[in-house]
Amino acid sequence: MKKNIMLLLLFTCSFKVLAQKAELIDNYINELYQKNAFNGNILVAEKGQVVFEKSYGLANEKTQQKLNTQTCFELASVSKQFTAMGIVQLQKKGKLSYDDKISKYIPELSFYGNVTIKNLLTHTGGIPDYMDLLAKEWDKSKIATNSDVIKAFEKQKPAPLFSPNEKWEYSNTGYLLLATIIERVSKQSYGEYLNKTIFKPLKMNNTFIYRRWFKPEIKNNYALGYLFSRELNKKVTPDEFGSDFYVVYLDGIVGDGMVNSNLEDLLKWDRALYGNEIINDNDRKMIFSSYEMSGQRSTDYGFGWMLTNSPDYGKIALHSGSWGGYITYIERHLDNDKTIIVLQNNALSTTEIPVKNIRRILYNQEPEKQVKIDNNILQQCEGKYVTETGKTKEIIYEDGKIYVPVGQEEKLELIPVSQTKFIVDGFSPEVSFEFTFNSEGKVTKYRVQQPEQGIDYEAKKIE
């Protein structure tokens, strides 16, 4: 009898703690929603049990259709973990090896020599960014596909950025090529293969490949992505920027993006990664391990997952995505079995990624309040900078925030943690930018640090 009473008390206390966490998360996200900093869906789970799940805002501005917890979103770069799993499944069947050179499957790119499948999985291949190449070379009245990108590389033969395994640099091109390898080895389309080997076995019934402009389809309960148009002074879908907008003319490409899903299916995916239905312990170790590069530096990136270790939270596997108005995020706390999934369909200057404070609430820590910085100081940070190796970098100021451009159109927000120091929003392991001001209050340089990657350099302001 006493034992039953104790169990009941423990259950009651546990329920109250979870309810308190849910209330704190809801209050925090509501605050963001009220100031136009969040529009989307959130799911938080502990040991597979949903602690919090809620929708905020609209799926479609024109029809005023509201989001609900079943609404599907484009996952952007969160798609990469599914591409990686597709490769893992082919390796398990003996169809390929992680150490195979990519030229075995894509002979058109044999000039990239010793780049392997594993290099592509871990972003250590050094193959240049396809978005930059197509921005200069592609006829933007047409929608490009993986095949078109490979033909452009074959024709232009852009030099590698570095030798395989020499360094780590995030590569959308690498995951595009992995999708092509999946198609050529499996003799199925990327979507068909993922559906057969991952989505159907895991009963992820609301997960699919969708290319809205390349292959239009009617999708029910679907969130449209919204960006802000300065010219029109309102939120718009990418359509309104025209066919030569990068989101539109790159819509035929798969592997680095184009998986669409919802909260429920992503939680199924999270649970499957702990189980043995599609992977075993050896696969799990490969997927969630960091790999050593030249000079004994670590990638802190496994197969489609960023990896970090924290004294407070333990080992975390995570990934973010940003594309065409969608901002997505999944975080799995491997030591403590906690899960955070965030799907947003507004990418505005006011938009915030709320993961850091959700994480703090989960671990009974006080949410952090953002440091406020005068716009004059932020505007001083804007400009062009040159590194010690002669590379030109840029900091952009927009609507009271500063950003680092990455690729042709994407940019990462710098979040202030002091009056001179910022961290890259949603990036792990943490990347910091610290700006140096002279006696006149002018920025003279910044210092970038990411100790886990061995990154530590300065860039002087030139204009």
- Please confirm, yes or no, whether 418 is among the known catalytic residues: no
For 110, the token pair is 């044999």
Catalytic position from the list 55, 77, 79, 186: 77
Please give the single-letter amino acid code of residue 165. N
User: What number of other Cβ atoms are within 10 A of residue 433's Cβ?
Assistant: 21
| Alpha-carbon dihedral angle through residues 65, 67, 69, 71, given to the nearest 10 degrees | 70
User: Pairing relation of β-strands 346-347 and 49-56?
Assistant: unpaired
Dihedral over Cα of 212, 216, 222, 226: its sign: positive
Maximum distance among all Cα pairs of the chain, rounded to whole angstroms? 78
> Is the Cβ–Cβ distance between 239 and 224 less than 8 Å?
no
Q: What are the residue numbers of the active site?
A: 77
